[in-house]
Chain A
Amino acid sequence: MKTLLVFLFFFASLWSEDLQTLRIYNYNDYIDKNILINFAKENNLKIRYEYYENNDQLVQKIKSQKDGFDLACPSINYISKLQERGYLLDINSSKLKNFNNINKIFLKQNNNSITQSYLPYFWGTIGIVYDKTKVKPINSWNDLWREDLKDSLLFGSDYRDMFGVILKSLGYSANTQNQQEIEKGYLKLIQLIPNIKAIGSEDVSKYFLVDKFSVGIVFNGDAKIIHDAQKNFSYIYPKEGAIQWMDGFVILKNGANQDLAYKFLDYILEPKNGASIANEIGYATANQEAYKLLDKQIKNDAIYLYPSNEVINKSESLKSVGEMDKTYKKYWKLFLEEYKKVKGIK
């Protein structure tokens, strides 16, 4: 009997090896599990869906050429890095029958040269969340430098996101490639240090709900979680314009299953599937047709999920800054050193 068991086990594992495997690399909590299961079932294949913790990790993994992913879902400003280095395959929109389900605004907004390199997935904003009961009203990025916000601010950990915020507060573009502007941004950034209480890591909501932070620069999704938990927290889009983030699916050149990759993208572009995912993960979908199937309550959430076009138009989404990326990184590093020195952290 045990030999039969062993044989069956072996046979089973062999069989699953024989199945085609689609490999996807995405941020965690960023899909409805059932979507994966149903896709695998309908196409009689295996899906391996791996999580990454941050964009840097994703870039490192793809650079190392290991693990041969078919699809990945990085943030936009990282997508351009990958494209520059030739890891990506252009997305041929004609191969996607559901391509037009995407909200055009997201396709138009971006430089034509990178449009085809990704399929917009979910998007959102970076704004300010604050405790209405503890903090005087905020409506500008510059409010963060206020005296009364000393040692109260949760700052973000992504250099492009945060530099974007600073640059916008100065009225510059978040994607400036101007050396002086970046430098000015750095100087202003240093001035913010006294107000920074912590530089946030993964579980952002915890800082507010548990550690009682009163103000912070956060993603809209985190703001929603915080607000849902404690209604005294408010989320605003500063008047200079919010930072818009977007994550998109890319097809990787060294993937083994390009046809499957397209099939999968088409699958998640299906309205009901897109809606399923949107409901599950609580962010704003770029899939217009899916949006239409969402609950009214969600659709009408202009604060956290689907801000008005006005807001969208004023907000700036992050793009590649080419060679200046090194400069941004350099200043960010200097900022971190200064920050640690001032705060007395090792």
Chain B
Amino acid sequence: MKHKTYSFTFSLSFIFTALLTASFSIIILYNYYKTSADIYKLSDTVNREIRKSIIDKTVAKLDYIATNIKILSKINESDNILDKKDDALKIMWEQLFSDETIASIFIADEQSNFVQVRRHPLYSTRVVEKYGDTRMEVWENKSKDFTTEAIETYPSTYDPITRDWYKNANGKDEFYWSNPYIFSSTGKTGITISYPYINSYGTKIKVTAADITLDDLSKLLKNEAKLVNGDLIMIGENDDIIATSFYDEIKDQADGKILNLKDLPPKLYGGFKEMTSSNEIDKGEFVDKNGVEYIYAIEQFPNLFHKKWKLITFVKKDVLLENVRNTINKMLLISFLIMIFFLGLILYISKIISRPIVNLSKQIYQLKDMNLEIGISANSKINEIKTAQEAMISLKNGLKSFKKYMPSELVNILIKTNQVAKIGGGEKNLAIMFTDIENFTTISETMSPQDLMEHLSNYLSELVPIITEHQGTVDKYIGDAILAFWGAPLHIEEPCLYAVETAIDIQNKLKILNEQWVKDGKPAFKTRVGIHFGATLVGNIGSHDRLNYTIIGDSVNIASRIEGINKEYGTNILISQEVNEHIKERINTKYVDSVMLKGKTEEVKLYTIE
């Protein structure tokens, strides 16, 4: 099965990139979740601090005002508050100015006398007392330094002792705290705190009180909302809304009434229905009608505080995570840039790493084509590659050696067609040549075996290249004889021509060689050549382990006989008529004789070369 291959560089780069991406992704994801968790925690802590701070401020302020009215009640122990009323008024005036959220401070006694300092609609004092049998109102509009600017007086319809703040202040040393309500004179939200003065006989003498506007609380919450990154709501005991950070948005809906948590527009915060149903929960999450997720926390006012008020903070999850997301996005961008940079780096490095491998693979490729003259150097610093390089050198040398035993063409073909040599062959018309050295046996006796080997090898080294240059295949050496053929394994157009030219060249070469050898004191090797052309069986013959690429058949025998006949006629090249037919146009041949070869029924004409 063929599968796709990828270059080393590409593979390396791909792997690196994949690894890097995986690493970054894991880091970023981990970061995201960890940071998100941290953000929630941090926000939780910060909000806790903010709530505490707000609650403390509120408690402190309200307690301060409560203390003030308690002190006020003890100033004049007479049961008629109109005694020393001017002194009391001076003090009340100071108390009023000590805190802008105090809308008014007032006292009433059991006789329905009433003394008040007010901020709204104008700074004024208000006294209700009996003149004769009619209770009269006397209002004095005051400037800030307590000088009167106008007086108003009229019969009164106001009876303080019928009011809640008076009626409900009964416990000794106990304050009465009203629920939040809307002040009729200003339309603002507020509460009233009142304190009874009860004498030693247990009789209620009078009640001092203060009206406190809570609108400033909303302002405070609005400011803190920025730090919380969300919103805050302060609620009273019945889930009445005392103050919120988003009062502006619900102002119109409130329309001069105290809103309850349940009244909050669903568009804004419809999730509250579920949220406050169980009082125990002090932290949680909810989803509003638009599918927006919130985290909320409810904090109770301290136990010592007079009322069970609560402060709620809630934050959109999105807002909390906004920064995290921004950071993550930046991280992604940076990671991406790093990755691009590293990709370049990796490409460069992998090119460097892969070079020896690439070279190696190129060299192997050369080897395959039997180009064994290439240089391979074992110069890599990487162990495995160096080993491969050394092996490649060995292989190349091995192949070089083996090549000498093999017909290289044959091997080339086998390599090209990616086949393993196997038994088999076919019949082909081949030109077959036998060469033989004259009187070799006699010569061999005159030399030492060593010298003989050497000399023979020299001889063969000269002859074989001539054969192969003419595209001949050397089949085998038979002692001093060479068997070669033309036309296999590769097809040749003119096998006879090449064979004859080879024979001519051999003889020419030998003339020169023999001269030299004789000069050197070596014996001359005269060579007889016989060439025939005919159908021959050619192929891999042998056992599976050891094959010979060789030729078999009649033509081979004939070629051999022809070579032997040179002796009789004193020629050194003899060719059969079949060969002659193919070359007579190009090369001058001379008819020698017709002979009857053993085992053949017809005569064979023989020719020699001129």
Give the contacting residue for A40; candidates B149, B153, B181; CB below 8 A. B153
User: Would you call A36 and B151 a contact (CB within 8 A)?
Assistant: yes
Q: Which residues of A contact B278 (CB under 8 A)?
A: none
User: Would you call B184 and A51 a contact (CB within 8 A)?
Assistant: no
Q: Contact flags (1/0) for A11-28 with B, using CB distance below 8 Å? A: 111011001010000001
Q: Which residues of A contact B154 (CB under 8 A)?
A: 16, 19, 21, 40, 45-47
Chain B residue, CB-CB nearest to A45 = B154
User: Would you call A41 and B184 a contact (CB within 8 A)?
Assistant: no
Q: Compute how far the CA of A19 lies from the CA of B536 in the bound complex, rounded to whole angstroms.
A: 149
Q: How many residues of B contact A (CB 8 A)?
A: 26
Give the contacting residue for B152; candidates A5, A12, A38, A47; CB below 8 A. A47
**What's the least CB distance linking B515 to chain A, in Å?**
143
User: Would you call B153 and A36 a contact (CB within 8 A)?
Assistant: yes
User: Would you call B158 and A12 a contact (CB within 8 A)?
Assistant: yes
Interface bracket on A = 20 to 34
**What's the least CB distance linking A193 to chain B, in Å?**
32
Give the contacting residue for A51; candidates B134, B150, B178; CB below 8 A. B150
Q: Compute how far the CA of A187 lies from the CA of B503 in the bound complex, rounded to whole angstroms.
A: 162
A49 and B151 in contact, given A6-B182, A37-B131, A41-B131 (Cβ under 8 angstroms): yes
Q: Is A44 an interface residue (CB 8 A)?
A: yes
Q: Is B598 an interface residue (CB 8 A)?
A: no
Q: Which residues of B contact A11 (CB under 8 A)?
A: 157
User: Would you call B181 and A2 a contact (CB within 8 A)?
Assistant: yes
Q: Is B120 an interface residue (CB 8 A)?
A: no
Best-buried of A6, A21, A38, A41 by chain B (most CB within 10 Å): A41
**What's the least CB distance linking A4 to chain B, in Å?**
9
Give the contacting residue for B157; candidates A15, A34, A36, A50; CB below 8 A. A15
User: Would you call A41 and B132 a contact (CB within 8 A)?
Assistant: yes
User: Would you call B150 and A37 a contact (CB within 8 A)?
Assistant: no
Q: Compute how far the CA of A6 lies from the CA of B186 in the bound complex, rounded to whole angstroms.
A: 12
Q: Contact flags (1/0) for B14-26 with A, using CB distance below 8 Å? A: 0000000000000
Q: Is B78 an interface residue (CB 8 A)?
A: no
Q: Compute how far the CA of A310 lies from the CA of B520 in the bound complex, rounded to whole angstroms.
A: 185
**What's the least CB distance linking B547 to chain A, in Å?**
118
Q: Contact flags (1/0) for B164-189 with A, using CB distance below 8 Å? A: 10000000000000110110110000
User: Would you call B179 and A2 a contact (CB within 8 A)?
Assistant: yes
Q: Is A342 an interface residue (CB 8 A)?
A: no
User: Would you call A5 and B148 a contact (CB within 8 A)?
Assistant: no
**What's the least CB distance linking B472 to chain A, in Å?**
127
Q: Compute how far the CA of A1 lies from the CA of B178 in the bound complex, rounded to whole angstroms.
A: 10
**What's the least CB distance linking A59 to chain B, in Å?**
18
Best-buried of B132, B134, B152, B163 by chain A (most CB within 10 Å): B152
Q: Compute how far the CA of A6 lies from the CA of B151 in the bound complex, rounded to whole angstroms.
A: 25
Q: Is B155 an interface residue (CB 8 A)?
A: yes
Q: Is B331 an interface residue (CB 8 A)?
A: no
For window 46-80 of chain A, which residues contact chain B by CB distance below 8 Å? 46-51
Q: Which residues of A contact B138 (CB under 8 A)?
A: 33, 37
User: Would you call A38 and B131 a contact (CB within 8 A)?
Assistant: yes
Q: Compute how far the CA of A15 lies from the CA of B184 in the bound complex, rounded to whole angstroms.
A: 15
Chain A residue, CB-CB nearest to B258 = A2
User: Would you call B149 and A51 a contact (CB within 8 A)?
Assistant: yes
User: Would you call A6 and B184 a contact (CB within 8 A)?
Assistant: yes
User: Would you call B136 and A50 a contact (CB within 8 A)?
Assistant: no
Chain B residue, CB-CB nearest to A9 = B184
User: Would you call B151 and A33 a contact (CB within 8 A)?
Assistant: yes
Query: A-side binding surface: helix, strand, loop or mixed?
Result: helix
Q: Compute how far the CA of A259 lies from the CA of B150 in the bound complex, rounded to whole angstroms.
A: 22
Give the contacting residue for B149; candidates A16, A41, A50; CB below 8 A. A50
Q: Which residues of A contact B179 (CB under 8 A)?
A: 2
Q: Which residues of A contact B157 (CB under 8 A)?
A: 11-12, 15-16
**What's the least CB distance linking A40 to chain B, in Å?**
5
**What's the least CB distance linking A277 to chain B, in Å?**
14
**What's the least CB distance linking A62 to chain B, in Å?**
16
Best-buried of A5, A10, A16, A36 by chain B (most CB within 10 Å): A5
User: Would you call A41 and B181 a contact (CB within 8 A)?
Assistant: no
**What's the least CB distance linking B555 to chain A, in Å?**
134
Q: Which residues of A contact B164 (CB under 8 A)?
A: 1-2, 5
User: Would you call B136 and A40 a contact (CB within 8 A)?
Assistant: yes
Q: Which residues of B contact A9 (CB under 8 A)?
A: 184-185
Q: Compute how far the CA of A6 lies from the CA of B185 in the bound complex, rounded to whole angstroms.
A: 10
Q: Which residues of A contact B136 (CB under 8 A)?
A: 37, 40-41
Q: Compute how far the CA of A119 lies from the CA of B181 in the bound complex, rounded to whole angstroms.
A: 50
Q: Which residues of B contact A5 (CB under 8 A)?
A: 163-164, 181, 184
Q: Which residues of A contact B153 (CB under 8 A)?
A: 33, 36-37, 40, 46-47, 49
User: Would you call A48 and B152 a contact (CB within 8 A)?
Assistant: yes
User: Would you call A46 and B152 a contact (CB within 8 A)?
Assistant: yes
Q: Which residues of A contact B258 (CB under 8 A)?
A: 2
Q: Which residues of A contact B150 (CB under 8 A)?
A: 48-51
**What's the least CB distance linking A132 to chain B, in Å?**
32
Chain A residue, CB-CB nearest to B132 = A41
Chain B residue, CB-CB nearest to A10 = B184
Q: Which residues of A contact B178 (CB under 8 A)?
A: 2
Q: Contact flags (1/0) for B239-283 with A, using CB distance below 8 Å? A: 000000000000000000010000000000000000000000000
Chain B residue, CB-CB nearest to A39 = B153
Chain B residue, CB-CB nearest to A50 = B150
Q: Which residues of A contact B184 (CB under 8 A)?
A: 5-6, 9-10, 13
Give the contacting residue for A28; candidates B132, B148, B152; CB below 8 A. B148
**What's the least CB distance linking B125 to chain A, in Å?**
12
Q: Compute how far the CA of A10 lies from the CA of B256 in the bound complex, rounded to whole angstroms.
A: 14
Chain B residue, CB-CB nearest to A6 = B184
Q: Which residues of B contact A6 (CB under 8 A)?
A: 181-182, 184
Chain A residue, CB-CB nearest to B149 = A51
**What's the least CB distance linking B217 to chain A, in Å?**
18
Q: Compute how far the CA of A217 lies from the CA of B398 in the bound complex, rounded to whole angstroms.
A: 141
User: Would you call A51 and B148 a contact (CB within 8 A)?
Assistant: yes
Chain A residue, CB-CB nearest to B178 = A2
**What's the least CB distance linking B284 to chain A, in Å?**
32
Q: Compute how far the CA of A40 lies from the CA of B152 in the bound complex, rounded to whole angstroms.
A: 10
Q: Contact flags (1/0) for B302-318 with A, using CB distance below 8 Å? A: 00000000000000000
Chain B residue, CB-CB nearest to A43 = B155
**What's the least CB distance linking B536 to chain A, in Å?**
129
Q: Compute how far the CA of A11 lies from the CA of B136 in the bound complex, rounded to whole angstroms.
A: 17
Q: Contact flags (1/0) for B498-525 with A, using CB distance below 8 Å? A: 0000000000000000000000000000
Q: Which residues of A contact B181 (CB under 8 A)?
A: 2, 5-6
Q: Compute how far the CA of A332 lies from the CA of B184 in the bound complex, rounded to whole angstroms.
A: 51
Q: Which residues of B contact A51 (CB under 8 A)?
A: 148-150
Q: Compute how far the CA of A2 lies from the CA of B238 in the bound complex, rounded to whole angstroms.
A: 14
Chain A residue, CB-CB nearest to B185 = A9
**What's the least CB distance linking A28 to chain B, in Å?**
7
Q: Compute how far the CA of A5 lies from the CA of B158 in the bound complex, rounded to whole angstroms.
A: 11
Q: Which residues of B contact A28 (CB under 8 A)?
A: 147-149
**What's the least CB distance linking B387 to chain A, in Å?**
97
Q: Which residues of A contact B155 (CB under 8 A)?
A: 19, 40-41, 44
Q: Compute how far the CA of A106 lies from the CA of B158 in the bound complex, rounded to whole angstroms.
A: 44
Q: Compute how far the CA of A1 lies from the CA of B192 in the bound complex, rounded to whole angstroms.
A: 13
Q: Compute how far the CA of A28 lies from the CA of B143 in the bound complex, rounded to whole angstroms.
A: 13
Q: Contact flags (1/0) for B391-405 with A, using CB distance below 8 Å? A: 000000000000000
16 additional contacts (CB under 8 A) given A6-B182, A37-B138, A46-B153: A1-B164, A5-B164, A6-B184, A16-B137, A16-B154, A16-B157, A33-B138, A37-B131, A38-B131, A40-B153, A40-B154, A47-B153, A48-B151, A49-B150, A49-B152, A51-B150
Listed in ascending order, the chain A residues whose CB lies under 8 Å from chain B are 1-2, 5-6, 9-13, 15-16, 19, 21, 28, 33-34, 36-38, 40-41, 44-51
A-B contact pairs, 30 of them (CB 8 A): A2-B179, A2-B258, A5-B164, A5-B181, A12-B158, A15-B157, A16-B137, A16-B154, A21-B154, A28-B147, A28-B148, A33-B151, A33-B153, A34-B131, A36-B151, A37-B136, A37-B138, A40-B154, A40-B155, A41-B131, A41-B132, A41-B134, A45-B154, A46-B153, A47-B154, A48-B151, A48-B152, A49-B151, A49-B152, A49-B153
Q: Top 4 nearest A-B pairs by Cβ distance?
A: A46-B154, A2-B181, A9-B184, A50-B150
